[in-house]
Amino acid sequence: MAATFPLDIVTPERTVLSESVQFLQVPAVDGSLGILAGHAPLLAELGVGECMVRLPTGAEERLALAGGFLEVSRERVTVLADTAEFANEIDATRAEESLAQARDMLQRLDGSVDRETANAAVRRAQNRLRIARGGE
């Protein structure tokens, strides 16, 4: 059996996950990071993308993650995310609506929002929809 480490994934609203895991993969702003037990201490800024957690049973959980920070210490790993949702928590219909609204915002750029903010909204909505649909 592979070694495990304690993982906490927390958002401002709730604790999303708090248990021992074998592996964690998160979307950092500079690329994907993989964490195993015994990883060196690390701080990283998180981006938008898929977070994958491998449980001690070998089962994998996928989450839509957007923004925040990762802290790896000798004792535990903590993900402080702006948002984090398991695939089964995402309403695909609402995610599609959010994507349509974000694309509309990007098309009109009427001065109430800048291009970077609109692009970020599109990326978040696309990620949520992809995770909701099982990574297609």
Residue 1 has pLDDT above 80, yes or no: no
Six-digit token pair at 11? 């958002």
Global pTM reads 0.87
Q: Are residues 45 and 74 in the same domain?
A: yes
Do the Cβ atoms of 69 and 43 come closer than 8 Å?
Answer: yes
Q: Give the model confidence (pLDDT) of 92-136 as tens digits.
A: 999 899 899 888 888 887 777 788 888 888 999 999 999 998 865
Q: Half-sphere exposure of residue 67, counting CA atoms within 13 Å on the CB side?
A: 8
Q: Are residues 12 and 79 in the same domain?
A: yes
- The proportion of the chain whose per-residue pLDDT surpasses 90, expressed as a percent, equals 75
Number of domains in the chain: 2
Structural domain range at position 124: 91-132
Mean pLDDT of 43-72: 96
Q: Which residues pair with 48 in a beta bridge?
A: 66
pLDDT at res. 115: 83
